[in-house]
Amino acid sequence: MIYGGRASGLLYLSPYLVGLAVFTLFPFVASLLLSFSDYRLQDALSAAQLVGFENYAAIVHDRTFGKSLVVTLVYVFVTVPLKLAFALFIAFVLNFRLRGINAFRTAYYLPSILGGSVAIAVVWRYVFAGDGLINQALAVLSANPVNWLGEPAYAMVSIVLLRLWQFGSAMVIFLAGLQGIPADLYEAARLDGASHWQVFRRITVPLLTPVIFFNFIMQVIQAFQEFNGPYVITGGGPLKSTYLLPLMIYEEAFKYFEVGYASALSWCLFVLVAVFTALAFRSSKHWVFYAQERGEGGQ
Amino acid sequence: MSSRESAGFQLRLRYAVLIGVGFVMLYPLLWMIGGAFRPNHEIFNSIGFIPREPTFEGFTKGWRTSTEYTFATYLLNTFAIIVPKVIVTVISSVLVAFGFARFNVPGKRLLFALLIATILLPKSVLLVPQYLMFREFGWLDTFLPLYVPSAFATEGFFVFMIIQFMRTLPAEMEEAAVMDGCNSFQVLTHVVVPVILPAIISVALFQFMWSMNDFLSPLIYLSSVEKYPVALALKLSIDVTEATSWNQILAMSTIALAPSLILFFAAQKYFVEGITVGSVKG
Amino acid sequence: MARSSVQLAGVAKQFGSTVVIRDVTLDIAPGEFVVFVGPSGCGKSTLLRLVAGLEQPSAGAIHISGRDVTHEHPSKRGVAMVFQSYALYPHMSVAENMAFGLRMLGTPKAEIATRVTAAAQTLQLEALLDRKPRALSGGQRQRVAIGRAIVREPDVFLFDEPLSNLDAALRAQVRVEIARLHARLGATMIYVTHDQVEAMTLASRIVVLNGGRIEQIGAPMDLYRLPANRFVAGFLGSPRMNFLPARVAAAGEHGVDLEVAGETLRIARRLAARAGDIVTLGVRPEDLSLAHAQDGAAHNGILRGEVSLLERLGGEALIHVTLRGTQAETLVAKLAGDVSLSARQPIALKLDGAACHLFDDAGRTMT
């Protein structure tokens, strides 16, 4: 149903148009400009000078940035596959006529709701503290306690586990995707004599690829923007071993007041995410299988 | 073994995995709640979560906080931010979604593509310029930067979700309303909104949850402690109290999570429904 | 309820580059029950929506009760529409559904209540007034949709394939109810369907549409007996009219001699045909009967062949016949239900020359 009146249509869209211009496009362009400036936060805006690619040149030589970049990439490329694999696994286990399926789904989904909060990050700090929950558990298993938050090698584990703990939202989406596969396909395959593994490989996985792709993109983008965990639990340390890029950008802008530099950093992050997303979309043509054309109903 | 035995075994294995994983997943929460009811010295002494000497001390002392304000102030601040935010999000998302779904506006395709693009955009890029902009407006240390952008449908995910719901509506229902004398706005308010109410509730719930967890925005915009929402107050509490009153911190964390927990259990199906329509069917 | 006329003058509609309605001109008299009928995609629903105001014509004008409503809002045209899917408001009760249009018009509450009660009585919906649509059956929902239209006391009722979503038994029942409703209200009604049975039984006049054009307009029996072209002839009537290719052997005052299916037949009517014309012979299944020995030899309308399939329906039987002759054309004849025939039995059919139709190579009926 399409209503006539382009003017009305524009009126309905007007909040979005204003918001897009004021809160998205303008800041977007402004941040690019700022990245070419030497602006410091406490100055008046008029004092800012354009300095060309100075900030970007500085980034290339910045050891901290190098460390942050590596740490961020490790974080993303470790958490995303693990989280997706685990979510998919649990979705499979759950996709059965089990009693209490809703209770389980709730139990797994709950951490996703709470996990992004400061409260949980705070709790996490104690879970990984010297005499916190994890080390208590290790003690029960007669293993030695680990200095999670004090050792550069182990601090990352705490924030990785925080993200993995929130696999529930991805799992719910996978579950819905699994339940959307028509049962007749499985029956037909079974009648044709297919084994469980064959069914999994040739029916389930191909039909799940759109959902996997969607989850993949969403998880990567969220992972690149993780802030609460590092900020609250580790402060980016020890020795910048958990100094994810969003945290670095925040500190450069609001702790060291180097707005120009921070803007350049944020654009590096943006380009990184954009390139990655574009590659993912391009690759999707080869492995994502859409079972039905958009716009068709039924079938 | 026979196929029935192996099916039974498989079932038990499933349950074992699910229960085991579920238990491990929920344990930190149980530990947190348990710790909130413990005297301080007990927290790091055992792995069990049931307090041996249950007490409300964590709550009473924690509520007073080590600042000049009680936790009540922080809770009120949180709601003072979130309630307007949720309301304006719902209103603007519905209006904008209706515009996209039901009108042929020049450049609609481009605008829609931009909507999707903003969902995928890392927000760090916009962080500093938005801050500077709000500083120019004189809105620093107020709640305005925290909810005004939502009044302009800046969170594309919600608009997208409502558009998807609107697509499932039968066209003839709205045509009947037109025949009954409604202009587009009346069709929206009298017919469309009541029918897509589940989607609207989902949007409200998600925005509520996300906003409860939002930390970075209050962090950069609010400087007066009296305006702190719960998120900032909690962070403050662990900065200030280094090695001492964990039970207070855990107690306040529990309270901080309580609204989300309650809402989640009350409205579970809307969460699941909302996610799946936005993603799987989209 | 007012009896009103509807005039369409040169109405055309295209969506982008697709032309859906080409130049339709039509006058509907007050109180008429006009049925737009035709195959899928013929434009009948679009034409109805143009009258309703849900679409704007690309060209032409629409008048209702003498008023030019071409650019008027649907609610100001004095029309009410019954949709194929009923289109009830799911969150409102039956009573609220029916009252909604009047509420939008600002009608006083008392008046609304009176009209809703009256309509509910007419349609036997009184017991259902407080129910929501999801608690109603298909037939009940359809009646609510009709009630919603009645309540507005429109000048013209518009029905968009209202019976399509009902099962067969219900369809026959609601069809009768709609006919009775028309008799009772005497209002002008425009009804769209693809089902020729509904068209034949309900219409005072039928408009047959094809490809956005009007093929023929007329009373049902007029269209049935005197179709203007092959399309109309083949559309109305079930089972469909039989079409056989034929060649005119001779034509004159005595009639027309045709070579068809290996036989020679005479149509004893003067028609504007010439020897050598390639034509199509049309004969309805019910106009075929078993030929007996005394019907004599050729020239008198006998077709011979073999029974290929028998469909016994009880009161009548449909006999599929493969005709003699090189082309092996098939015919369907409607005979008595207990006719003693069996498959592969040779059969001779007699046709009534007066009831035959002849179509020229452009499909027009020859006269």
Residues 5 through 64 of chain A touching chain B, CB cutoff 8 Å? 5-6, 8-13, 15-20, 22-24, 26-28, 30-31, 34, 45
pLDDT at C274 over 90: no
Nearest CA in chain C to B172: C87
* pLDDT for the residue numbered C295: 61
- Touching chains, C (3+ CB pairs < 8 A): B
B103 Cα to chain C: minimum distance (Å) = 14
CA distances from C232 to C210, C219, C224 (A): 9, 13, 8
pLDDT at B40 over 50: yes
Mean pLDDT, to the nearest integer, of A74-85?
Answer: 94
Mean pLDDT, to the nearest integer, of B102-118?
Answer: 91
Nearest CA in chain B to A229: B215
Instruction: Find chain C residues with C-beta within 8 A of B177's C-beta.
Output: 89, 100
Instruction: Find chain B residues with C-beta within 8 A of A9's C-beta.
Output: 99, 102-105
The domain tally of chain A equals 1
**Residues of chain B with a CB closer than 8 angstroms to some CB in chain C:** 170, 172-173, 175-182, 186, 190-191, 194-195
A231 located within any domain? yes
To probe the interface with B, which of C104, C112, C152, C158 has the most B CB atoms within 10 Å?
C104
A38 located within any domain? no
* pLDDT for the residue numbered C109: 93
Report the C-alpha gap between B24 and A113 in whole angstroms. 17
- Measured in degrees and rounded to the nearest 5, phi and psi for residue C18 equal -90, 120
A25 located within any domain? no
A33 located within any domain? no
CATH architecture of B69-229+257-277: Orthogonal Bundle (1.10)
pLDDT tens track for C2-51:
567 999 999 999 998 899 999 999 999 999 999 999 998 899 999 999 99
- Measured in degrees and rounded to the nearest 5, phi and psi for residue B38 equal -105, 155
Identity of residue C146: I
Q: Are C100 and B175 inside 8 Å of each other by CB?
A: no
Mean pLDDT, to the nearest integer, of C205-222?
Answer: 94
User: A31-62 burial by CB neighbour count: b if 16+ within 10 A, else e?
Assistant: bbebbbbbbebeeeeeebeeeeebbeebbeeb
From the list C200, C184, C355, C358, the residue with the least C-alpha distance to C281 is C358
Report the C-alpha gap between C171 and C111 in whole angstroms. 32
Residue B139 contacts by C-beta under 8 Å, 6 or more apart in sequence?
B145, B148, B221
Instruction: Find chain A residues with C-beta within 8 A of B115's C-beta.
Output: 16
To probe the interface with A, which of B124, B178, B202, B260 has the most A CB atoms within 10 Å?
B124
* pLDDT for the residue numbered A123: 87
Mean pLDDT, to the nearest integer, of C340-352?
Answer: 86
DSSP string, C286-326: GGEEE--GGG-STTS-EEEEEEEEEEE-SSEEEEEEEESST
| Segment among A64-73, A268-277, C212-221, C340-349 with least mean pLDDT | C340-349
* pLDDT for the residue numbered A296: 37
Residue B266 contacts by C-beta under 8 Å, 6 or more apart in sequence?
none
- Classify residue B269 by its DSSP letter: H
Instruction: Find chain B residues with C-beta within 8 A of C90's C-beta.
Output: 173, 195
CA distances from A239 to A122, A151, A154, A253, B120 (A): 20, 9, 12, 20, 31
To probe the interface with B, which of A42, A126, A131 has the most B CB atoms within 10 Å?
A126
* pLDDT for the residue numbered C213: 92
Percent of chain B at pLDDT above 90? 43
- Classify residue A22 by its DSSP letter: I
Q: Is C183 on the interface with B (CB under 8 A)?
A: no
Residue with tokens 């931010």: B81
pLDDT at C215 over 90: yes
Report the C-alpha gap between C185 and C179 in whole angstroms. 10
User: Which of B47, B257, B280 is opposite residue A140, by nearest beta carbon?
Assistant: B47
Q: Between residues B268 and C107, which one has the greater pLDDT?
A: C107
- Asked if A66 contacts B161 with a C-beta cutoff of 8 angstroms, the reply is no
Report the C-alpha gap between A111 and C35 in whole angstroms. 62
- Asked if C235 contacts C37 with a C-beta cutoff of 8 angstroms, the reply is yes
* pLDDT for the residue numbered B282: 43
pLDDT tens track for B181-222:
999 999 999 999 999 998 999 899 999 999 999 999 999 999
Question: Which residue ranges make up each domain of chain B?
Answer: 3-55, 69-229+257-277
- Touching chains, A (3+ CB pairs < 8 A): B
B191 Cα to chain C: minimum distance (Å) = 7
To probe the interface with C, which of B180, B182, B184, B196 has the most C CB atoms within 10 Å?
B180
- Does residue B30 sit in helix, strand or coil? helix
pLDDT tens track for C75-120:
899 999 999 988 999 999 999 999 999 999 898 999 999 999 999 9
* pLDDT for the residue numbered B279: 62
Residue A258 contacts by C-beta under 8 Å, 6 or more apart in sequence?
A40, A41, A252
Instruction: Find chain B residues with C-beta within 8 A of C104's C-beta.
Output: 180-182, 186
pLDDT at A298 over 50: no
A265 Cα to chain B: minimum distance (Å) = 9
Report the C-alpha gap between A291 and A185 in whole angstroms. 12
pLDDT, mean over chain A: 86
* pLDDT for the residue numbered B1: 52
Q: Are A31 and B95 inside 8 Å of each other by CB?
A: no
- Does residue B125 sit in helix, strand or coil? helix
User: Which of B96, B115, B126 is opposite residue A15, by nearest beta carbon?
Assistant: B96
Q: How is residue C52 written in tokens?
A: 């309703």
Number of Cβ pairs closer than 8 Å across B and C? 57
Report the C-alpha gap between A165 and A171 in whole angstroms. 11
Q: How is residue B158 written in tokens?
A: 């919600």
Q: Are C100 and B180 inside 8 Å of each other by CB?
A: yes
pLDDT at C318 over 80: yes
Q: How is residue C226 written in tokens?
A: 């005197």
Identity of residue A95: N
Nearest CA in chain B to C52: B179
- β C278-283/C242-252 pair status: antiparallel
Q: Are B181 and C75 inside 8 Å of each other by CB?
A: yes
Counting Cα atoms < 13 Å in the Cβ hemisphere of C103 gives 14
Q: Is C362 on the interface with B (CB under 8 A)?
A: no
* pLDDT for the residue numbered A96: 76
Report the C-alpha gap between B225 and B228 in whole angstroms. 5
Residues 84 through 113 of chain A touching chain B, CB cutoff 8 Å? 90, 93-94, 96, 98, 102, 104-111, 113
Residues 65 through 84 of chain A touching chain B, CB cutoff 8 Å? none
Interior angle at CA A233, CA A228 and CA A234, nearest 5:
110
Reading across the β-sheet that carries C18-28, which strands appear in turn?
Answer: C18-28, C6-15, C59-64, C67-68
A35 located within any domain? no
Mean pLDDT, to the nearest integer, of B154-170?
Answer: 91
pLDDT at C363 over 80: yes
Report the C-alpha gap between A19 and B214 in whole angstroms. 20
A205 located within any domain? yes
C322 Cα to chain B: minimum distance (Å) = 47
pLDDT at A198 over 90: no
Q: Are B260 and A117 inside 8 Å of each other by CB?
A: yes
pLDDT tens track for B6-34:
777 888 888 888 888 888 888 888 888 88
User: Which of B25, B28, B100 is opposite residue A13, by nearest beta carbon?
Assistant: B100
Range of the domain at A165: 63-296
User: Which of C52, C85, C90 is opposite residue B179, by nearest beta carbon?
Assistant: C52
Q: Between residues B49 and A134, which one has the greater pLDDT?
A: A134
Instruction: Find chain C residues with C-beta within 8 A of B195's C-beta.
Output: 89-91
Mean pLDDT, to the nearest integer, of A188-211?
Answer: 84
Instruction: Find chain C residues with C-beta within 8 A of B170's C-beta.
Output: 85, 87
Q: Between residues A250 and C292, which one has the greater pLDDT?
A: A250
Q: How is residue C356 written in tokens?
A: 């035959």
pLDDT tens track for A110-167:
898 888 888 898 888 888 887 788 888 888 888 888 888 888 888 899 999 999 999 9
Residues 133 through 152 of chain A touching chain B, CB cutoff 8 Å? 133, 136-137, 139-140
Can you say how many angstroms the Cα of residue C86 is from the centroid of all Cα atoms in its chain?
A: 21
Q: Is A260 on the interface with B (CB under 8 A)?
A: no
Q: Are B179 and C74 inside 8 Å of each other by CB?
A: yes
Strands (E), B79-149: none
User: Which of B47, B154, B235 is opposite residue A19, by nearest beta carbon?
Assistant: B154
Q: Across the strands, what pairs with C303?
A: C349
From the list B89, B149, B160, B96, the residue with the least C-alpha distance to B123 is B149
Q: Are B179 and C90 inside 8 Å of each other by CB?
A: no
pLDDT at B278 over 70: no
- How much is the pTM? 0.86
Long-range contact pairs involving C22-29 (C-beta distance under 8 Å, separation at least 24): C22/C211, C22/C212, C22/C213, C23/C59, C23/C60, C23/C213, C24/C60, C24/C212, C24/C213, C24/C214, C25/C60, C25/C214, C26/C207, C26/C214, C26/C217, C28/C188, C28/C190, C28/C205, C29/C5, C29/C188
CATH no. for residue A248? 1.10.3720.10
Q: How is residue B97 written in tokens?
A: 């979604």
- Touching chains, B (3+ CB pairs < 8 A): A, C
Q: Between residues A46 and C96, which one has the greater pLDDT?
A: C96
Report the C-alpha gap between C112 and B156 in whole angstroms. 43
pLDDT at A183 over 90: no
Q: Is the preceding peptide bond at C239 cis, omega within 30 degrees of 0? A: yes
pLDDT tens track for A8-20:
899 999 999 999 9
- β C205-210/C33-37 pair status: parallel
* pLDDT for the residue numbered C297: 54
- Asked if C307 contacts C318 with a C-beta cutoff of 8 angstroms, the reply is no
Nearest CA in chain B to C98: B180
Report the C-alpha gap between B203 and C80 in whole angstroms. 36
Q: Are B152 and A16 inside 8 Å of each other by CB?
A: yes
Q: Indicate the angle between helix axes A63-94 and B3-36, nearest 10 degrees.
A: 130
Instruction: Find chain B residues with C-beta within 8 A of C100's C-beta.
Output: 177, 180, 190
From the list A210, A209, A213, A205, the residue with the least C-alpha distance to A92 is A205
Residues 114 through 133 of chain A touching chain B, CB cutoff 8 Å? 114, 116-120, 122-127, 129, 131-133
Identity of residue A61: H
pLDDT at B98 over 90: yes
Strands (E), B97-143: none
Q: Across the strands, what pairs with C364?
A: C229
A53 located within any domain? no
* pLDDT for the residue numbered C89: 95
The full length of chain C comes to 367
A28 located within any domain? no
Q: How is residue C217 written in tokens?
A: 């307009």
B229 Cα to chain C: minimum distance (Å) = 39
- Asked if A215 contacts A178 with a C-beta cutoff of 8 angstroms, the reply is no
pLDDT at B45 over 70: no
